[in-house]
Amino acid sequence: MIIQLLGSSACPNCRELEASVRQTVAARGVSAEIRKVTDPTEIMASGVMGLPGLVIDGRVAVSGRVPSREELGRILDAVGA
C-alpha cells in the first residue's frame, strides 16, 4: 500500500495528518510506504482540492481536513489494510 500525504511543512494540519496516519498505521501493523508530497504540481495532479490531502493507492481518501484516528482506521479497513 502506498499512502501519500499531500501538503507542506508550514501547514499545521498537514503535520497533524502525518502524525495521525503514522500512528494509526503503526498501531494497526499495516504494511505501507508513506510518502510526503509537497510539490504543488504533483499535488494539483492528484485531484486533491484542499490541504492536507490523503491519497491511498492513487485514490483520494481525504481532502482539506484532518480525520480522526477512528476515521483513518475505517479508511484503512475500506482499502483492505
Segment 3-49, tens digit of pLDDT: 999 999 899 999 999 999 999 999 999 999 999 999 999 999 999 98
Segment 49-66, tens digit of pLDDT: 899 999 999 999 999 999
Catalytic residue, from 11, 30, 37, 60: name it. 11
The pLDDT assigned to 72 comes to: 97
11 in catalytic set: yes
Domain ranges of the chain: 2-78
Site of grid cell 482499502: 79
The pLDDT assigned to 39 comes to: 96
30 in catalytic set: no
Q: Is 6 in contact with 53 (CB distance < 8 Å)?
A: yes
State the CB neighbour count (10 A cutoff) for residue 67.
18
Please, what CATH class does the domain formed by 2-78 belong to?
alpha beta
pTM score: 0.92
Catalytic residue, from 14, 51, 66, 72: name it. 14
